[in-house]
Amino acid sequence: MRTFNMLWRSDCRSVLYSASMRVEELVVQRHLRLSRTELRNLRLWNVDRCEDTAELWRAAAAGAPTGSGEDELLPTITVELVSAIEAALPAMRDEMKAIKSDKDVKAGLGMWAAGEDVPADSEPAYDKETVANLDAMVAAVCPTADDARVTHAMLRQYLSLYSLVTTDGADPKSVPPRAAVAADAVVGH
């Protein structure tokens, strides 16, 4: 039983880590209208990476040496994508600022983020059973009521963003968003 509990808590932490990492990925994904696969392949999993990629692409296009480990990625980036990134950067930054203006969401993101420039391991909301067990997961790994509160706030934000992004990255106005359980009905209530 002890091993099972240890594995359960490890799985809970992994899900919460992924949800926290997916918040910014989903902002990028929605604004650039990319699928999750495209986002990962292009290594655009956060707003800073988007900005750095656009700057690196512009420098390489101008013939400047980049000295970056991302050089092998540049041939897959198009001028249209760079233009889309540059056009979306202010809105992506504003959205992340608005998300982090909620002190509980910000604390939840900080509590579960890995602090590394890596993509999320998984998509927690993809699995209905995982979504149904989020409250139990929070209870299993959050030792205090404050930890649980900020984690629930982060999860509500994640589920809200997840419900806005289509599976293929298409314009959510033209393609119905994925069916997702309302965030407020699932997490922390």
- Tell me the torsion sign for CA atoms 134, 125, 108, 99: negative
Instruction: Quote the CA–CA distance of 170 and 32 in Å, as a whole number.
Output: 9
Q: What angle do CA 66, 72, 78 make, to 5 degrees?
A: 85
Can you give the pLDDT at residue 188? 54
Return the amino acid letter for 18. S
Can you give the pLDDT at residue 122? 83
**Residue 99, token pair as written in the block:** 């998300």
Can you give the pLDDT at residue 183? 42
Domain map (residue ranges) of the chain: 2-186
Instruction: Show pLDDT as tens, one digit a residue, over the chain (189 residues).
Output: 677 678 888 999 999 999 999 999 999 999 999 988 898 889 998 999 999 999 988 888 887 766 666 666 677 888 999 999 999 999 999 999 999 999 999 999 999 987 767 788 788 888 888 888 999 999 999 999 999 999 999 999 999 999 988 655 444 443 333 333 334 444 554
Kindly compute the dihedral angle of the four CA atoms of residues 45, 46, 52, 55, in this order, to the nearest 10 degrees: 90
Contact 30, 165 (CB under 8 A): yes
What is the residue whose two structure tokens read 């990319």?
34
- Residue of 14, 38, 49, 19 whose CA lies nearest to 161: 19
Can you give the pLDDT at residue 71? 62
